[in-house]
Amino acid sequence: MKATNRSSIYRNQSAKLNALYQQAGDPRKVLCVAFDFAKSKHLALCCDGNGEILRKPFPVENNRAGIDFLVEAVETTADRRKIPKSQIFLGGEDEPPYVSNFLTALREKGYLVMRVNAFEAKHNRSDHHASTDEIDLLGIAHTLISRRARDTEPADDSVYQHLRELTRHRRTLVRQQTASRNRIHAIADQLFPGFLDAARSGIGSFTEASLTLMQERFSAPEVTRRRPSSLSSMLCRHGIRDHDEVAAKLIELARQALPPDPVRVPTLQRTLAAAVDLHRCLHR
């Protein structure tokens, strides 16, 4: 039979960690440093490639002093076992934003930094019914020495990295803008039903004229009491064509609209003004 060409039966293992273990020749000549990340202080432990704990869990500050302390601890542990830097790797669960700078500093010092899947690390804990920092840390260490990890090294194509990050931030911004618009709709539909329907009001929703109106004592009764000439002038200043006709159309729509509960109007107006401020900020 013809042999199938496969590189490894362990298809989910890291190629970099497999190469590191192969270079070491003996798992006892591999140093793994596992982290349970936190915002201000991480928990770390050192073990060899067989899982023997070489240094019990110890705290590491998430700052420059913490990096210096960690490097000294790792070098001291490695020296005792005569483990070269090329056979040391560090890692924790999928990188949260607050640990990004910490891991960058470690990579700049020449360490191989990996990350493991949080679900898999939880599955590898010794106790599946309880969770403490040390139990979580042991699960992370177990996953790392099983070589089931991914590299955290950014790709060489920095342009691609920038585009990916910009796209991610834009996606977040679009979600926030959509939420802001929905909030404005929900409040405006109570204060002046039909106002944000351009076919009925004559004003495009979320145009500068529309936002200005919603930010200043906005409600159907308030619009009804406005003088047509002053309303027309405001619409003209904000680029509304046929402003006289649109002003008359708005006032008539306000007269026909069901008025809001007078008791709730001040609160709704303040909330709407704040929502419009947020919308303008997100748009900028």
Residue 3 placed within a domain = no
Residue 28 placed within a domain = yes
Question: Are 27 and 135 found together in one domain?
Answer: yes
The residue-averaged pLDDT of 87-99 equals 90
pLDDT band of residue 131 (cuts 50, 70, 90) is low
Question: At which of 151, 184, 217 does a domain end?
Answer: 151
Give 135-170 as a DSSP string: HHHHHHHHHHHTT--EE-PPPS-HHHHHHHHHHHHH
Residue 47 placed within a domain = yes
Summary mean pLDDT of the chain: 89
d(CA 141, CA 272): 51
d(CA 131, CA 150): 24
Predicted pLDDT of residue 160: 81
Domain that holds residue 259: 160-283
Question: Are 173 and 134 found together in one domain?
Answer: no
Question: Are 139 and 174 found together in one domain?
Answer: no
The residue-averaged pLDDT of 66-70 equals 96
Predicted pLDDT of residue 153: 73
The pTM of this model reads 0.66
Q: Which residues of 88-125 are buried (b: 16+ CB within 10 A; e: fewer)?
A: bbbbbbeeeeebeebbebbeeeebbbbbbeeebbbebb
Residue 24 placed within a domain = yes
Q: Is pLDDT of 6 > 80?
A: no
The residue-averaged pLDDT of 204-213 equals 93
Predicted pLDDT of residue 96: 83
Q: Is pLDDT of 119 > 90?
A: no
The residue-averaged pLDDT of 243-249 equals 93
Residue 277 placed within a domain = yes
Query: Does 53 or 117 have the greater pLDDT score?
Result: 53
Least confident of 19-23, 150-154, 200-204: 150-154
Residue 123 placed within a domain = yes
The residue-averaged pLDDT of 181-190 equals 96
CA 175 to chain centre: 12
Question: At which of 94, 120, 151 does a domain end?
Answer: 151
Question: At which of 100, 117, 151 does a domain end?
Answer: 151
Question: Are 103 and 217 found together in one domain?
Answer: no
Predicted pLDDT of residue 11: 57
Q: Is pLDDT of 143 > 60?
A: yes
Question: Are 66 and 107 found together in one domain?
Answer: yes
Provide the number of structural domains found in the chain.
2
The residue-averaged pLDDT of 222-246 equals 92
Residue 238 placed within a domain = yes
Q: Is pLDDT of 13 > 60?
A: yes
Predicted pLDDT of residue 157: 62
d(CA 277, CA 180): 10
Question: Are 277 and 233 found together in one domain?
Answer: yes
pLDDT band of residue 136 (cuts 50, 70, 90) is confident
What CATH number corresponds to the domain at position 107? 3.30.420
